[in-house]
Structure 1
């Protein structure tokens, strides 16, 4: 497959038409997959915010004090309040806030960004990234993945993940197919939207490059059953259940 970043996009402002900006700069085929960083989706959807918008309650102040004590520096309780308001629940309150977003993604600080937000303190994730992807898909007539970067349990570093998608399934199902030794596979369901998001992240970058959209061409989903199951249900998520029983005890 081929992957390239869309060059020349301007700083995105509330109300901007991302699809039109992309179409002005690249000719898309219907088999191309367009990966769009959630940061510009949030900016276009007016998801910028200031800390003053989140007056801290008692729980936020307690969380900020605890994390501040652990880190050895003062933490702004208004930021903790913003995380609480953007979350369905917190799985961890210390040594950092691990939040379940309202659309099912689990990430540190509810994915709230404090970089590349020129006119505000904070940039919140899109309220419904799959709906955002659907609108872009309808306009571009190509599959769309709304991406973000996220840390990984058991590993250092971040990688791209899919927050929302439209025009293609989230995963392809290898179950029932045979491996090279003729054994039937029974568990493999490949999360292709995450793999494509990570691929796009290699060319869009993380810093000041200003290339938040990537196009992936010459890739095919293949003759597989598809699934949109990506975020685990509560009842079969044993890691989530274990975290609810765990609390930070310090050194």
Structure 2
């Protein structure tokens, strides 16, 4: 497998055609996977905002005051309001905000970024990353570039571990996972639970060469990787019924002595 960053991508503006920008800077072949950072997808979709656009509710002020008192650092209630408006559920409200986005991704602060946004205060996640991935893939097809899968990625922290890794937010042209259930291991035992999230694994691999911060590259071409002769699945985000952690968090409050 080869990973090649797409270099010299300019600062993205609302309305920019990401498929065209990538096609002009990379040679794409059938079977490739193109990973695209959600940062540039959001910028192309105009998903930027300023703090003054968020009138503060009592809930947002309460959250900001509570976290500020705990961390001894004043928190802007307008930011808390932005997080609330970008979320469908607030799972943790102290000592940080852990939320579910509209498309089912659970992350800190609804994934709102405050870095690499030159003209605004905030960069919001794409509204529908799967549709964004499909739009980029269609744009490549319109330029005669067929059979290229697209993954919209982000970096995300993980429970129980330090550090962030690349994860998939939306994808098109490939299944999300290899479903090994029903296959046999080397000893002939049937696998009962193994579902391999390949869109997350490819996002993480791409992030190794994409980089972070000022030196980051927003798109990476993955070549000579094959899905293999295994059943595919598009299930990535757990449903509430299957998610024991989310159900436990709904009953937990910060500061409980138990």
Question: Hey, what's the Cα distance between the residues in 2 that align with 1:99 and 1:186?
Answer: 30
Measured against aligned partners, the alpha-carbon deviations of 1:84-120 in whole angstroms (never above 9, x if no partner) come to 0000010010000001000000000000000000000
Corresponding residue number in structure 1 for 2:17: 17
Moved over 6 A (4+): none
Please state if 1:174 is matched with 2:180: yes
Could you tell me whether the CA contact under 8 Å between 1:97 and 1:108 is conserved in 2? yes
Corresponding residue number in structure 1 for 2:203: 197
Corresponding residue number in structure 1 for 2:159: 153
Question: Hey, what's the Cα distance between the residues in 2 that align with 1:210 and 1:89?
Answer: 31
Q: Of 220, 234, 237, which aligns to 2:240?
A: 234
Corresponding residue number in structure 2 for 1:80: 80
Corresponding residue number in structure 1 for 2:143: none
Partner SS state of residue 168, structure 2: strand
Partner SS state of residue 234, structure 1: coil
Corresponding residue number in structure 2 for 1:61: 61
Corresponding residue number in structure 1 for 2:6: 6
Question: Hey, what's the Cα distance between the residues in 2 that align with 1:30 and 1:104?
Answer: 30
TM-score by length of 1: 0.98
Could you tell me whether the CA contact under 8 Å between 1:99 and 1:107 is conserved in 2? yes
Partner SS state of residue 215, structure 2: coil
Question: Hey, what's the Cα distance between the residues in 2 that align with 1:205 and 1:245?
Answer: 38
Question: Hey, what's the Cα distance between the residues in 2 that align with 1:208 and 1:87?
Answer: 28
Question: Hey, what's the Cα distance between the residues in 1 that align with 2:212 and 2:65?
Answer: 30
Partner SS state of residue 7, structure 1: coil
Question: Hey, what's the Cα distance between the residues in 1 that align with 2:168 and 2:189?
Answer: 31
Structure 1 unpaired stretches of 5+: none
Corresponding residue number in structure 2 for 1:247: 253
Matches within 5 A, 1:127-142: 127-140=127-140, 141=146, 142=148
The worse-fitting range, judged by mean Cα deviation, of 148-157 and 177-186 is 177-186
Give the superposition deviation at 1:250.
Answer: 7.7
Measured against aligned partners, the alpha-carbon deviations of 1:170-216 in whole angstroms (never above 9, x if no partner) come to 00111111111111111101000000000110011111114100010
Question: Hey, what's the Cα distance between the residues in 1 that align with 2:55 and 2:212?
Answer: 30
Please state if 1:104 is matched with 2:116: no
The number of residues matched between the two structures is: 251
Question: Hey, what's the Cα distance between the residues in 2 that align with 1:156 and 1:26?
Answer: 34
Q: Of 185, 188, 194, which aligns to 1:188?
A: 194
TM-score by length of 2: 0.96
The worse-fitting range, judged by mean Cα deviation, of 133-142 and 114-123 is 133-142
Q: Of 220, 225, 230, which aligns to 1:214?
A: 220
